[in-house]
Amino acid sequence: MQVATRPFSILLAVLLLGVVAPSFVTPAADAPPPGVPAGKIVRLDRFPSQYVAPHDVDVWLPPDYPKQAPYAVLYMLDGQNLFGEREAGKMQSWHAAATAAQLIAAGKTRPFIIVGIANAQSLRMSEYFPQQPWESLTPAQRRTLFAQQLGGFQILPVAPYSDAFLKFVTQELKPAIDQRFAVDAKPEATFVMGSSMGGLMAWYALAEYPGTFGGAACLSTHWPGPYLSLDAKTDDPAPDAFVDYIQRHFPAPDRHRIYFDHGTRTLDAYYGPIQARVDRLLQAKGWRGSHFESRVFEGAEHSEKSWAARLAIPLTFLLAPASK
């Protein structure tokens, strides 16, 4: 197994905040929307919720919007890191606007918009840990996970509350997006994507709300949960809890799609064995062909730079043009 070679502090920031940058800068609450090379960003500042704290939301609209309405909608997690082309010297970006615009213009995807939801920063791990698998753990296992600290940080500051976060997305944010923008609100035009802990949340969103989301893309899914790595000497209950939940609760393929991938360096070096378990399980449940894809990118590390480099692949998988 290849081991993580990046500095420990960088790997810590990846997991806790979802940020990879030399200066670890996150946008200020009152920062203007990020600049993008194509299309435009509509900022929904501190979108209110009765379920979770307000979240900043950046909605990317392609260059010719709304001429190709109705548009599909891609909800992306860790929204601080998706665009940010003006922050290139401070914070790595997925460069999602540039990639999406190129794919739409080339006819490789259907027209779509991106709804980038900012993460909860210090509470990110608690907000993105799938709640039903968490609640299936024994009290002793939960205490073990609560006890984990990295560099003085409590990895799980509070008990996971991802069910509340998904209520915010599906019951509050999505209706507002559907009303304000020229989109197709049906499940077959609604997708979710995330990386690392956001990858966990993407498949969990599909499993919990198969009537809302038509597909999910999970990049570098952090199967160990709150742990930095899979240590054979560590009793890590999270992976088995995730696999058991998928076995019991994942929807049938039908009209859904799911995409997984991971690299082979830094944190991604630890994901292969559990991803293989999940792949076998889903394939046994009928996930295959155009409904399922799982890829390994040799040499790719756990970073926005790597996710940006392969972003076109999950986008074309989820948002393939309708068959003529």
Q: pLDDT tens digit string along 139-184?
A: 999 988 888 877 677 888 899 999 999 999 999 999 999 999 999 9
Torsion of CA 281, 72, 84, 267, to 10 degrees: 0
What is the rounded distance in angstroms from the CA atom of residue 9 to the CA atom of residue 266?
Answer: 12
pLDDT tens profile 276-315: 999 999 999 999 999 999 999 999 999 999 999 999 999 9
Mean pLDDT to the nearest integer, 37-62: 97
Domain ranges of the chain: 8-23+43-318
pLDDT at residue number 194: 98
Terminal Cα-to-Cα distance of the chain (whole angstroms): 45
- The CATH architecture one would assign to domain 8-23+43-318 is 3-Layer(aba) Sandwich (3.40)
What is the tens place of the pLDDT at every residue in 226-236?
776 555 556 78
pLDDT digits (tens, 9 = 90+) for 120-143: 998 999 999 999 999 999 999 998
CA nearest 239: which of 263, 270, 282?
270
Written as six digits, the tokens of 201 are 């949340």
Burial class (CB in 10 A: 0-12, 13-18, 19+), 82: buried
Tell me how crowded residue 48 is: count the other CB atoms within 10 A of its CB. Answer: 11
Amino acid at 244: D
Which residues fall within 8 angstroms of residue 149, CB to CB, at 6 or more apart?
A: 155
* Whole-prediction pTM: 0.92
> What is the per-residue pLDDT for 1?
47
What is the length of the chain?
Answer: 324
Q: Under the phi-then-psi rule, with left for phi > 0, alpha for psi from -120 to 50, and beta for the rest, what region is 183? A: beta
Confidence of residue 14 (pLDDT cuts 50, 70, 90): low
Q: What is the CA radius of gyration of the chain?
A: 18
